[in-house]
Amino acid sequence: MLGIKDGAIKKRDMVMAKRTKTKKIQKSKILNFNFKNLGNDISVYPFVEIRWTDIEGDSGWSDTKSLKNSRLPICVSKGYLLSQSKGVTRIFTDYIETKEKTTFDNIGNTTIIPTSVIESIKKISLKK
């Protein structure tokens, strides 16, 4: 039990239970992958699909009932996962191969997503 003593729940135990729940939620937002020393070999970068909650706004006239029934849009982004650190997830979709080697030097079409708004992230295998 959560530290029930004489019918009361200790505040410390409630806080610990809340922290545990928060950690479980956050783990689904982070891909367990070692991002250090990935280098310039594109095949070692995980290709991912990220579902994330976006902000929505409307500068036009509306009524309170419509606003109360509004839902946040879920965006889907796919790309190579560059990093996940300090609350930020970074992906890119384009890269330039060098002429001399099968590596890449430059990336394009980058997206930076606050990790806190990520609903899910999953690795997608690319067929060669």
Domain boundaries, given as residue ranges, for the chain: 1-30, 33-124
Q: What is the pLDDT of residues 60-72, one digit of tens each?
A: 999 999 999 999 9
DSSP 91: E
Please report, as a single letter, which amino acid is at residue 79: G
For residues 111 and 12, which has the higher predicted lDDT (pLDDT)? 111
For residues 40 and 112, which has the higher predicted lDDT (pLDDT)? 112
Range 112-127 average pLDDT: 94
Instruction: Give strand pairing partners of 114.
Output: 88
Distance separating alpha carbons of residues 69 and 101, to the nearest angstrom: 54
The backbone torsions φ and ψ at residue 124, rounded to the nearest 5 degrees and listed phi first, read: -115, 130
Q: State residue 61's pLDDT score.
A: 95
Nearest alpha carbon to residue 85 among 43, 29, 20, 47: 29
Q: Mean pLDDT across the chain, nearest whole number?
A: 81
Q: What is the pLDDT of residues 21-60, one digit of tens each?
A: 444 445 578 877 776 777 778 888 999 999 999 999 999 9
Distance separating alpha carbons of residues 85 and 35, to the nearest angstrom: 10
Q: State residue 84's pLDDT score.
A: 93
pLDDT value at 4 more than 60: no
pLDDT value at 20 more than 70: no
Distance separating alpha carbons of residues 41 and 30, to the nearest angstrom: 22
